[in-house]
Structure 1
């Protein structure tokens, strides 16, 4: 991870422009990708960031000189690169995005055929080494063809959720000046929804701040707009819209954990014969819903590469992470920010219950702390100390960090991949006071 080039991370390439990421590096990555993946056709897209087109051009030049034909998708969302790669049968795809990072950042997310992820242990380290050494194996003269995939992408979405399954719900949608507005403008004419649009204009200057609705300040405008008007629910997206975030009719932000349960419910209500993959940070609500509706649940370490692999292995229909990444078999096991929006609209339409009512029950049954971060001197030492104290009386699991479960409450503790930070999640069975008490108790010991 970043052994040779600092912009290379565990799952993607990401850094500041131009000090860590620039057209020169993008060219080298193009040559390295051509050699490592041995691709003949690769699609390339970029989000709204102002540095995107120049990076895309240099990347395409590198791919071309490695003998690869490039299909230029222009400005799209990450899930559209996943869609195009798999749907048209290309040998790979590259999305130029830094997702929710500040404006001075950019990055590259890479996939191979069938939109299978390229991360540290599946080829990204190899691409990094080749880009650093610049000893190219393949030479050729590939072409660049522009392709507009929006119409096919919209058809793909409408095959997953049919317009006739939706009622004329009133929804407030906020792409935050990211790329989602472009896709929504193509999608919405096919849907019976009554839509209030906020910040639909894509703008890489981020006039209303970087779209990252997981941050309170980033979603404040969406919340205020929902509180001052009448809607069934609201949705906001990050810049490359591979993550979406939900708000109930009163403007309350809904934790990603409960959205995993909600999407499991949306899928299993339509047909119980499905497998759902979930991560170990918070689990009880998801398990309760899957068991109650007759589905199958499979646990998996968090992180997109792990979840996609697990979903393929167990033939899962949906995989969800509390970090607002949602993966679908119908989308080649990739994450999507558009499919959750449609599934929630379908569930609200089918049940006749408000979103606040649907998740309110989950929140009462399984109150959770949300993810609480603590900076520590040594992650491993702290986790070992907590396990020594809490493990003997509970049920212990190490699927992802440390999980300890008791009859009435449980917690998960895991270290960050990139910084000396520990992330804590606590939940209880219907006892909010106990959840708060145990969260405070654990934080005091972690930070001691």
Structure 2
């Protein structure tokens, strides 16, 4: 079918300066700096800059997403691009479909875990590769000027496309079904779009004879988010999953954010698993069947991951935080896996993209192989490498404060590395201090070797240095 929307690409924008363009994606508050007219312009701009023949689109379940998707598709088809619409889907389903269908780009309409009055776009190029900074800036400029609306040729088409079954098969192919031990799961989709994708994966697992029992929480997509915005990083959102794990006697709890590109884990004891330990576990899981491969990790908490990779016979490589940086470093090294403590996990066999579904499959495979519960694996790592969790500081000029703190510890004999912020390393403890890219905040992580007291010592030392730098 052909696009029939007659809205022009010069429709008034809520924010002509396009502040909805962030470091890696597009997101904004509806009616403030993002709306359907903006999405339409971005669709046309993507077509003008990238020159695709075909683009995959999908959307989350927010009430504004169908209108945003229609406008985005109209911008693309109006510029002569054929659109393959996979409908209600998670971001990683767009990633998969883009590569699987041989499209030259993919765009998901989603605001993930942002407030209910937000929406946005996550955009990839051919092969689901991340856009370069130059490409992203060029799309922003073209959308701002409306240059993408000048197309003299025929309009493109918009057709539905079904890829979920192929997606589920691809993911299940990534684990050894015959090695999986029986597991009881509690899964919490948070009324985002994880539910339908999980069900397709479960169907494929059961078709192959995998021994799994599931209790579902908040499983149906509902853009009103009656149980709150799906963001398991918020401590107040965790008890519902933790309590269900205990109530059901589950082996593992899993919760996702709105577009399920991130997943979070709970042990059989109801304990929330901090992200840096998940990175190490997934590194071990991948290296168990592919020793000698490269693992990429972010620079915030590193000792446990590096130790795990070394003991598993792999090679650890550090990357700047952020999906564009992680994916580029992974591609440059051919890495089998890359992980960030923020719960973004990237896999070579998934187009080097992040997935919120592959991690729980790989963790299930790992605990089956190790014949130990997840809690035991986590406790062992925490005993060897305790960490503080992320601590935020509100300061007016994070960059200056970081420089002063680094200079202070350099005078005390610490090893200082300026990489995505600064790392401060002593023999027994290490601190990572970096500025937020979106807020006037500094983010501190402290880790230690063996002694939890060294974590507290490190936090106190850095806190005192920050106070001195801002006093």
Other structure's SS at 1:43 match: strand
- In structure 1, the partner of 2:146 is 134
Q: Partners in 2 of 1:129 and 1:165 — Cα distance?
A: 51
Q: Any conservation in 2 of the 1:166–1:193 contact (CA below 8 Å)?
A: no
Runs of 4+ in 1 over 2 A off after TM superposition: 135-140, 162-165, 189-192
Within 5 Å, which residues of 2 pair with 1:24-423? 24-118=37-131, 121-136=133-148, 137-139=150-152, 140-191=154-205, 192-392=211-411, 393-423=413-443
Gapped runs of 5+ residues in structure 2? Answer: 1-14, 206-210
Greater displacement, 185-194 / 412-421: 185-194
Other structure's SS at 1:81 match: helix
Q: Any conservation in 1 of the 2:190–2:258 contact (CA below 8 Å)?
A: yes
Q: Any conservation in 2 of the 1:177–1:208 contact (CA below 8 Å)?
A: yes
Q: Partners in 1 of 2:289 and 2:183 — Cα distance?
A: 19
Shift of 1:437: 2.2
Shift of 1:230: 1.1
Q: Partners in 2 of 1:299 and 1:128 — Cα distance?
A: 30
Other structure's SS at 1:45 match: strand
The CA deviation string for residues 133-167 of structure 1, in whole angstroms up to 9 with x for no partner, is 11234343000000111111001111111433322
Greater displacement, 423-432 / 166-175: 166-175
Shift of 1:190: 2.8
The CA deviation string for residues 254-294 of structure 1, in whole angstroms up to 9 with x for no partner, is 10000000001111122312110011111000010111111
What is the TM-score of this pair, normalised by structure 1?
0.97
Q: Partners in 1 of 2:384 and 2:85 — Cα distance?
A: 48
What is the TM-score of this pair, normalised by structure 2?
0.93
Q: Any conservation in 2 of the 1:34–1:138 contact (CA below 8 Å)?
A: no
Q: Partners in 2 of 1:338 and 1:162 — Cα distance?
A: 15
Q: Partners in 1 of 2:176 and 2:202 — Cα distance?
A: 12
Other structure's SS at 2:28 match: strand
Shift of 1:3: 9.1
Gapped runs of 5+ residues in structure 1? Answer: none
Q: Partners in 2 of 1:388 and 1:399 — Cα distance?
A: 15
Q: Partners in 1 of 2:463 and 2:319 — Cα distance?
A: 25
Other structure's SS at 1:123 match: helix
Q: Any conservation in 1 of the 2:446–2:458 contact (CA below 8 Å)?
A: yes
Q: Partners in 1 of 2:16 and 2:377 — Cα distance?
A: 46
Q: Any conservation in 2 of the 1:163–1:190 contact (CA below 8 Å)?
A: no
| Alignment partner of 2:450 out of 430, 437, 441 | 430
Q: Partners in 1 of 2:216 and 2:248 — Cα distance?
A: 13
Q: Any conservation in 2 of the 1:27–1:60 contact (CA below 8 Å)?
A: yes
Q: Any conservation in 2 of the 1:4–1:129 contact (CA below 8 Å)?
A: no
Greater displacement, 391-400 / 260-269: 391-400
Q: Any conservation in 1 of the 2:62–2:223 contact (CA below 8 Å)?
A: yes
Q: Partners in 1 of 2:27 and 2:131 — Cα distance?
A: 14
Q: Partners in 2 of 1:164 and 1:80 — Cα distance?
A: 26
Other structure's SS at 1:297 match: strand
